[in-house]
Structure 1
Amino acid sequence: MNGDYSDSALNAGIALAKALNTRLTIITVTEALPVDYGGGHDSGWIPTQDEIDSFDAACKARAGKVLDDARAMSEQIGKSAELLHVPNAHPATAIIETAKSRGCDLIVMASHGRRGLRKLFLGSQTSEVLMDGSVPVLVVPKPA
């Protein structure tokens, strides 16, 4: 969850789960530290174990904050949730795999509202999840 976009999707998902009296799973995914092994004459960059540990700790702390905020939002409207952090993973893949393994009927995600070529060049985790098609997806638009 990253600010207004994700908060809107989170609020919509929590409200929908409460209205339908269904189970609610909230997931946040953190990607692995990018490593550049180089190639040819490139020098590349390989992190030390301390750098990897520091990165992982920062990701865990950020995920904990995100999930604490999500818990507070769900408890505020009286809906309990299963909270998950999937570390060192590609977000779209982790979302899809988690939804399948947990038997989720619907994935609720935010749209950042990118359009045209910018959307194509920047990529989109939401688009990747939509393209998979194995679990229905509700895309919540960016707030007005």
Structure 2
Amino acid sequence: MYKRILVPTDGSDITQRAVQSAISLAKLTGAQIFTISVKDPYPYSAISEIQPTLPQEFLDAQERVATRNVSAVKEACAAAGVECTAHTVESVSVWEAIVDHAKKQQCDLIVMASHGRRGVQALLLGSETNRVLTHSPVPVLVVR
């Protein structure tokens, strides 16, 4: 069955549910978990207000948050007795980073959360989960 499960994390509550689902599945199948947090390389985006933050301060903050997020997954895995490897990557495209990482780590399943955005917010922000579902050659389990 599944031996290498990728769990993208942004530290949100719904992502924690996906982590718990991945851990449960890993325990059942003897799988290893890989976790990834994707960092934005640019301090300004087209849909956010310009922030008075120096680029290096922004990058440092992104790294701290990403490291905290993957560390939380590693701790949850360790508590459950599941092997976990964590990475933080920088990319302007979250979904592409997830799909590429799954390929690079030879994962056979991606477990990720659906943030349930609807209406204008979904139109403007899109759905990273939907893009992963559309483009991943690896099966994707979506946790709501």
How high is the TM-score relative to the length of structure 1? 0.81
Aligned length: 130
**Matches of 2:60 and 2:117 in 1, distance apart?**
31
**Counterpart for residue 75 of structure 2:** 72
Listed one character per residue, the Cα deviations across residues 55-79 of structure 1 (whole Å, up to 9, x for unaligned) are: 1111111111112211111111111
Identical pairs, percent? 35
Q: Which structure shows the bigger proportion of residues in strand conformation?
A: 2
1:30, 1:88 within 8 Å by CA — same for their partners in 2?
A: yes
Structure with larger Rg: 1
Matched, 1:6 2:15: yes
1:4-83 matched pairs, under 5 angstroms: 4-34=13-43, 51-83=54-86
> Runs in 1 of length 4+ with deviation above 4 angstroms?
none
How high is the TM-score relative to the length of structure 2? 0.81
AA at the equivalent of 1:29: V
Deviation at 1:119, TM superposition (A): 2.7
Deviation at 1:15, TM superposition (A): 1.5
CA RMSD between the two structures: 2.1
**Matches of 1:135 and 1:104 in 2, distance apart?**
7
2:99, 2:136 within 8 Å by CA — same for their partners in 1?
A: no
1:33, 1:88 within 8 Å by CA — same for their partners in 2?
A: no
AA at the equivalent of 2:23: I
The one of 128, 135, 143 equivalent to 1:140 is 143
**Matches of 2:57 and 2:16 in 1, distance apart?**
27
SS in 1 for 2:82: coil
AA at the equivalent of 1:60: E
Deviation at 1:34, TM superposition (A): 4.6
